[in-house]
Amino acid sequence: MALPSLRRLAAGLPGSRLRLVGRALPAKVLDGQGPWEPTSDHWIRQRGSGAVLLAASLRVAIAARRARAGIVVGTRVDHRGLLLTHPVEGTIATLHQRTLYERTVETALEALSGEPDTDVAPTPFQVDPAGEAWWEAAGRPEYLLHPWAEGSASKRWPTDRWIALGRSLGSVAVTGGPGPEDTAVAQRAATALGVPCAAGETTLSPASWAGAALRARRVVMPDTGTAHLASAAGASAVVLFGATDPRRYAPEGAHIVRGTSMHAIAVDQVLEAARA
């Protein structure tokens, strides 16, 4: 969701030194996708530097001020208003996350004397060809099932329903994350279905996974960052939403299946969306 706004920020500040700051795994997705330095967990300590806070966190605002950033731009969330030199104005509570990123970058370009009207042509996420090679080796599955929802039990769909969905779809492969719980879920589903699995030690890199997702007819997953990766790459995705509000967090262009909780979503609902 942040990629278009980051590219607009870079285009509006030509010649500036840009660094992404954040946790290694999410930020790694953005490495090599624009004219910025590889991901770091340290802010640039340089006179006149600015911090553009996309994460809605008090902790990152404190870190930016400790780095002595001259300009700190962000939304007034998590009680951090006093730490911002240039808060994003207007009502933000009901805006989609993509729009919040756009508003933050607009404010940052104005504060940093950039070019706020910079028109950046949409550029697809740059995928790794290794993902297509994995898809070929997996037998060219029509569907990728990606049960990964690390650290968020409320976003997990029961494993037996993933298995039932895979049996109904037929031509599938399973992908997952590197964590032990995510690996166990993906491998259990893949073993029950008798299909290829990329999880744990064989987890695909973000750019490789995006390449495989592009080749499949459709990918199915819960509401996670991977769903937004699929959207950025231009893959066709079915995304399962439980407690999270898709009006604020739905990936662009995705087919949404909504339930009052993940357990309330039936296999037939997902099957219908996947085949649509």
Residue 192: predicted pLDDT: 98
pLDDT tens digit sequence for 106-163: 999 999 887 766 677 777 788 999 999 999 999 999 999 999 867 678 889 999 999 9
Burial class (CB in 10 A: 0-12, 13-18, 19+), 92: middle
| Paired sense of beta strands 19-21 and 37-40, if any | parallel
> Given pLDDT bands bounded at 50, 70 and 90, which one contains residue 94?
confident
Q: Please report which confidence band the pLDDT of residue 266 belongs to, taking 50, 70 and 90 as the band edges.
A: very high
Please give the biggest Cα pair distance in the chain: 59
Residue 65 in tokens: 């001020």
Amino acid present at 51: A
Give the separation between CA 274 and CA 276, rounded to whole angstroms: 6
Q: Which of 170, 183, 182, 175 is nearest to 274 (CA)?
A: 170
pLDDT at residue 118, rounded to an integer: 64
**Average pLDDT, whole number, for the chain?**
91
pLDDT in tens, 166-180: 999 999 999 998 888
Give the whole-angstrom CA distance, residue 203 versus residue 206.
9
Predicted pLDDT of residue 225: 87
pLDDT category at 26 given cuts 50, 70, 90 is low
Domains of the chain, CATH where assigned: 3-111 (no CATH), 130-275 (3.40.50.2000)
Please report where in the chains the tokens 């997996």 appear, as a residue.
138
Closest CA to 26 of 49, 50, 3: 3
Between CA 182 and CA 258 the distance in angstroms is 22
